[in-house]
Each structure stands twice: as C-alpha cells, then as structure tokens.
Amino acid sequence: MSAALLLPIALAALAALALPLLIHLARRSEQRPTVFAALRWLREKPRPRSRLRFDEWPLLLLRLLLLAALALLLARPVLFGAQSRTAWLAVAPGVDAAQAGAGLENAELERRWLAPGFPALSQPAPPAPADLASVVRELDARLPPGVALTLAVPARFDGADGARLRLSRPVQWRAIDAAAADAPAPREAALAPPAIRYAPELAPSAAYLRAAVAAWNQRETAVDAAPLTQAFDPKARSLIWLAPGPVPATVRDWVAQGGRVLLDARAVWPEAQFDAPLWRDAEGTVRVAGARVERGQALRFAGPVQPRAWPALLQPGFAAALRDLFAAPAPPPARIAARDYAPAGGGPTFAAPPLDLRPWLALLVAALFLLERWFATRSKRGVAP
C-alpha cells in the first residue's frame, strides 16, 4: 500500500500553524507592569534574560494538530493498494447458489450476485440482467488486478453480445443447471388475429382483409369480422377499424392502453401524427403509415383498400405483409450455450481506484475540534487564549 495526495498544493494551508503560536505568545504580552511607590528608591537589579515560553502545552498541541488535519483534508489523501484481495464468487440470477458454490464451502470468498450493484449472495436474488456480458465486464474492471474470480452462469443464458468475453484475469467459468441446457428454446407464440370492424360501405375492403387474416391465422379459428355496431373485445391486442370520419373515443382509449389499430385511409385522428412509413409496395409507394399513441400504436392505410387502386391485394405476399404489421419485432439473438461463451484472457487491465481517506480525516477533525473546545473551556484553566 502507498499513500498519495491528489491536491498537494493544499498543504500550503499548513502556514496557518503559526496562528496558535502567535495567539499563545500574545497572551503573555498582555501582562502590564505596575509601579509601587515604596519600591522606587531600591536599587534596580539586572533583569534576567527572558526566554520564549508557551503556556498550556496540551491546548497548543491540539490546535496545531487540528490545523494540520484540516490542511491534510484539503490535500485529498488517498491510499493505493488498500482494496481487499479476497477472491470472488459471482452467481448469475437463476442459478442455484448451493450448486454454484459446490466444493467452495470452506473457501474464503466474496460471494455476490452477478447483477448490477453486485449485491451479497445472502440477499434475495435480483432480476436477471438483460446484458449479462456487460455485467461480467464491469465486474472485471471493478476488481483489483490479481483477484481470483469464479463465475457461475446457467448452461444456457440470455444476455450475450456479439463480442467474445475477453477479461483481464483468468476466470473459473462454471456452467450450472445442465437440464436447462438441453431444453429447447421456447417457440414463438402464435400471433392472435386482429378483429375487424367495418362500415357498411367498406364491406368489400373488409372481405379482402378478412381473407388475408385467415391465411396467416395458424390457430384455425374464425376471424372476428363484423360491422361497427358490434363491440370488439377490449382484451384484444390488435384491431382493424375500417370506418371514415373521427375515430371513436373507445378505440382511442384502447390504443392508449397498449393496443394496435389499423385505420381506414379516411379515418380522422388529429392527435396522431401518421408520419412513419411502415409498408411500401414494390414501386416505393407508402401504403401504411404509423404513429405512436402513448403505450399503443395507430396505423392508417394511405389509400383505399381496393384491387383497382392497390393490385397487391390479390398477390400471394399480401397476407404475409399484413401479418408483419401486427407482429412484434423479433428480439436479437442472444441465447448461447455457456460452454461456448467462456471468457478468454488478455483483456484490458484497469487500475484499481484508490481508497479515499477524507471521510476518516473528517472524523478526526471533528474529534480534535471537540477535544480542543473541552480544553479551552474547562473551569480549571484561566482565560482562554
């Protein structure tokens, strides 16, 4: 370990140490000679040579120490190499802590969760981080060089990124829960078909959309298509609303709660800015534009849904393109087998941050100040200098 000062110029404040010395000397100069008439005829003897002398040494030393501590506090002292050298065991949330520490029960380890903040393993498991690789890199940068690190992760986990983990230290990589590694990845949930509500004059357009929805409906259930007079299920997540004029308040509120609606080209919704093109045809013409509405999304056809104006209605790819409008964006692939993602060495090294000594010096300054005040105001001494 080695100590250092981040602001050594602040030691110039040590010049204030002269103040207590001057105060104690000034107190002695306050003594004034008094002339007695009976002594004026006596022969004057040579005065002894005066010596520099300080009264109340304990109080003087306390004041000197207090000023020196204040000057040192301003200089921002730090201590390098004071971090603990205890090895770490970091367990990813979702991994059994007992299995992760198998064979290490008697080892002296810093046991933490592999999650932001690195809480102690004795605390409840935090949520699994979405970017586990970034958390591993953060832990490697946080630990002092040379500290051994053991990482326990699921045999298959999410949170990997495109770059291979390359850390500054050798890591003992433990893949836990082999049963989960053999489990197949969850299949994408079937997309629920949207309900269709249409005005009487737009019934032909609704027929084309109903046929397209039925083409990609894998659950083989009947498509919910009905006139506007029939209410739609408020628990549904998607809706096709083919009606000109203002969009009803029930539909707007439903979209604000997280729904997704596809409107007719003549639908009116002043608050929604349909400026995001979501569907272009082969010629580049915008066919559907979208707008965010609080937690949901509103989409609107850019023109009439008729084969004469839009020949793609009769093409085989129309149903798939319509399905893409209501499908949630697929997340980027991040699931990986832990054995294929074991960290490699040779990564960048980071200097360990020094230990800041200012909190301890602040406590020392407070203690010295209280002790100085007690010495200066106690009843057994004279006038305080």
Report if residue 347 sits inside a domain: no
In the chain, which ranges are E strands?
2-5, 77-80, 87-91, 109-113, 149-154, 156-157, 171-176, 195-198, 225-227, 238-242, 245-246, 260-263, 267-268, 276-280, 286-293, 296-301, 336-337, 355-356
**Where is average pLDDT lowest: 7-16, 177-186, 350-359?**
177-186
Would 213 be classed as within a structural domain?
A: yes
Which pLDDT band holds residue 277 (cuts at 50, 70, 90)?
A: very high
Residue 366: is its pLDDT beyond 70?
yes
91-104 confidence digits (pLDDT tens): 999 888 888 888 88
Residues 59, 96: one domain? no
Tokens of 299: 């989409």
Beta strand segments in 77-126, E: 77-80, 87-91, 109-113
Domain match, 13 and 72 both: yes
Residue 38 in any domain: the answer is no
Mean pLDDT of the residues in the chain: 82
Residue 326 predicted with pLDDT over 90: no
**pLDDT value of position 347:** 77
CB 297 within 8 A of CB 141: no
Percent of the chain whose pLDDT exceeds 70: 81
What was the pLDDT predicted at 237?
Answer: 87
- pLDDT tens string 304-320: 999 999 998 888 889 88
248 lies in some domain: yes
The answer as to whether 45 is a domain residue is no
Is residue 381 predicted with pLDDT exceeding 90?
Answer: no
Q: Is the pLDDT of residue 217 over 80?
A: no
Tell which residue, 250, 136, 238, has the closest CA to residue 193.
Answer: 238
Q: What are 23-68's pLDDT values in tens digits?
A: 766 665 555 666 666 666 666 665 555 555 556 778 888 888 988 9
At 245, give phi and psi (nearest 5°).
90, -175
Region of 362 please: left (phi>0), alpha (psi -120 to 50) or beta: alpha
What single-letter amino acid sits at 192? A
State whether 264 and 313 are in the same domain.
yes
Beta-strand pair 260-263/245-246: unpaired
| Residue 184 pLDDT | 46
Residues 16 and 118 in one domain: no
List beta partners, residue 260. 238, 297
Query: Per residue in 153-166, pLDDT tens?
Result: 998 877 777 677 88
Residue 42: its pLDDT value, please? 65
User: How many structural domains comprise the chain?
Assistant: 3
Give the model's pLDDT for residue 133: 86
Residue 363 sits in which domain range?
Answer: 1-27+55-80+354-385
Residue 375 confidence (pLDDT) = 84
- 259 in the same domain as 207: yes
Across 84-98, 146-160, 337-351, least confident range: 337-351
